[in-house]
Structure 1
Amino acid sequence: MKFISWNVNGIRACVKKGFLDYFKEMDADFFCIQETKCQAGQIELLLEGYHQYWNYAEKKGYSGTAIFTKHKPLAVKYGIGEEESESEGRIITLEYDSFYLVNVYVPNAQRDLARLPKRLLWEDQLLHYLKELDGLKPVIYCGDLNVAHETIDLKNPKTNIGNSGFTYEERGKMTKLLHSGFTDTFRHFNPDKVDAFTWWSYMNKVRERNIGWRIDYFIVSDRLVDYVRDTDIHAHILGSDHCPILLEIDL
């Protein structure tokens, strides 16, 4: 099965920049997007053969997630009861016979780290939820996780230590997750690969010079790792400040 995850930074804008061409080219079983920035009825995507599941934010033009899939799930869950951000449409879970798919747009700690304490609490709630699911069936967890885990995961680690997305606290939460029965698929298969990024600032020439961060992930239950067939970053695909990522796995 083929999975794609992409923070589209506004699905309406991304559609105008070639989203549907890429969508058709990939012909994925599951296409997960984050930061949809739209409300119900603001866009109609005609995706033949796909079921569509949207979790809209209450605030207009903000956050939001969606999953497009060829496979009808047993159940769909929106959010996990997270008090601070459930209204922001950040989590969708699809349940299948043999696995759960969890698509997430993790809250940003903000430039001044004002949201960091709430972000860390949110991470604890999400980890508890993922571990509960993992106790029932294996989990595929994907999305914009808003953290570069290790120094290899961003271009300029020294000058970014302590900045949003690269604080010791946020990185520590990722480490805790990966020590709780989960694997970062890209880094597992590419332990030493440098300059592999999924997000670039819109500042002039930053993307052209590949001054980026890897903050988008496919993370799976450890017992699924042997079934992973491919994992990749499609940095050549434009349309957003993030690029799509790929996971192919036998399920």
Structure 2
Amino acid sequence: MKFISWNVNGLRAIVKKGFVETFNELDADFFGIQETKLQAGQIDLDLPGYYQYWNYAERKGYSGTALFTKHKPLNVIYGINAPDFDHEGRTITLEYPDFYVLTCYTPNSGSGLKRLDFRMGWEEAFLAFIQSLDAKKPIIFCGDLNVAHAEIDLKNPKSNHHNAGFTDDEREKMTALLGTGYTDTFRYFNPEATGRYSWWSYRFHARDNNAGWRIDYFITSNRLQDQLKDAKILDQVMGSDHCPVELDVDGLTV
């Protein structure tokens, strides 16, 4: 079973750059997107064979997630059951007989770390939410988690040490999350791979120079490890400042 995640940085813009063609070529069972930047009714996306689920931010042109799937879920959950954080359209969760799948767009701490406190609150609420799911059945979650976990996960760790996405606070939250029973699937298959990134700034020819960050993930409950088949970064796919990431899993019941 094939899972794809992609921060599209504005769905209406990327549709003009071949998004639907790429979507069809990737032919995923589940396709999670982040940063849709739109409201209900602002796009009519024709994806035959897929159920579409959308979560919009209250603020126009901001944040937002979507999850497209070939498999009708038992249940759909929008948000993380936390009123302080559920107004920005950041998560969608689908329930299936023996697992959950979730797309997530983690808040960015912002320039000058203006939203770091908000981000830390989000991290606590998000972990509590996924733990409540994981207590019932294993979880697969994907998305732009807005953190490079280790120095190996970005080109310039020293100069970015105290910048959003690579602060000690953010990295420690990722370490804590993984320590509660979750697997960073790309590192599971590629524990020491360098130069593998999923986001590049639009400035300074960063993508041409591969001066990037790995901030897009597939994270799974540890007990799914035996079913994991591969995890990939599709860095040849263009259209956004992020590229898609992929996870392949066997033995799931839909």
**Given the two structures, how large is their TM-score scaled by the length of structure 2?**
0.97
Contact 1:100 1:133 in 2 (8 A): yes
Residue of structure 2 equivalent to 1:99: 99
Query: C-alpha displacement at 1:102, in angstroms?
Result: 1.2
Gaps of 5+ in 2: none
- The within-5 A match list for 1:79-98 is 79-98=79-98
Matches within 5 A, 1:114-193: 114-193=114-193
SS at match of 1:230: strand
State the Cα distance separating 1:162 from its structure 2 match. Answer: 1.1
After TM superposition, give the deviation of residue 83 of structure 1 in Å: 3.0
Deviation at residue 188 of structure 1 after TM alignment = 1.0
For residue 231 of structure 2, what is the aligned residue in structure 1?
231
Letter in 2 for 1:76: V
Residue aligning to 2:69: 69
| Preserved contact between residue 84 and residue 118 of structure 1 (Cα < 8 Å) | no
- TM-aligned CA deviation for residue 131 of structure 1: 1.0
Q: How far apart are the structure 1 equivalents of 2:138 and 2:116? A: 29
SS in 2 for 1:14: helix
Q: Distance in 1 between matches of 2:41 and 2:83?
A: 26
CA shift, 1:84, in A, is: 3.0
2:6 aligned with 1:6:
yes
C-alpha separation in 1, matches of 2:4 and 2:102: 12
2:210 aligned counterpart, secondary structure: coil
Contact map agreement 1:78 1:91 (CA 8 A) in 2: yes
The structural deviation recorded for 1:85 is: 2.7
Aligned residues: 251
2:190 aligned partner, one-letter code: N
Amino acid at match of 2:68: F
Q: Secondary structure at the match of 1:20?
A: helix
Deviation at residue 51 of structure 1 after TM alignment = 0.2
Other-structure match for 1:203? 203
Q: 2 CA distance for matches of 1:124 and 1:105? A: 15
Could you list the runs of 5+ residues in structure 1 that have no partner in the other structure? Answer: none
The answer to whether 1:221 aligns with 2:221 is: yes
Give the secondary-structure state (helix, strand or coil) at the position aligned to 2:118.
helix
TM-score, with normalisation over the residues of structure 1?
0.99
Which range is displaced more, 15-24 or 170-179?
15-24
What is the rounded CA distance, in whole Å, between the counterparts of 2:119 and 2:79 in structure 1? 15
Partner SS, residue 158 of structure 2: helix
Letter matched to residue 60 of structure 2: K
Could you list the structure 1 runs, at least 4 aligned residues long, displaced by more than 2 angstroms after superposition: 81-85
**C-alpha distance in 2 between matches for 1:137 and 1:96:** 9
Quote the sequence identity (%). Answer: 61
For the Cα contact (< 8 Å) 1:92–1:104, is it kept in 2? yes
Whole-angstrom CA distance in 1 between matches of 2:161 and 2:205: 22
| Matching of residue 248 in structure 1 with residue 252 in structure 2 | no
Task: Output the amino acid matched with 1:228.
Answer: L
**Matched letter for residue 31 of structure 2:** F
Distance 1:79 1:248 in 2: 25
Q: Distance between the aligned counterparts of 2:205 and 2:167, measured in 1?
A: 25
Over residues 146-167 of structure 1, what are the superposed CA-to-partner deviations in whole Å (9 max), with x where a residue is unaligned?
A: 0000000000001110110000
Contact 2:81–2:129 (CA under 8 A) maintained in structure 1: no
AA at the equivalent of 2:74: L
Q: CA RMSD in A?
A: 0.7
Take 1:164 and 1:27, find their aligned partners in 2: how far apart are those partners? 33
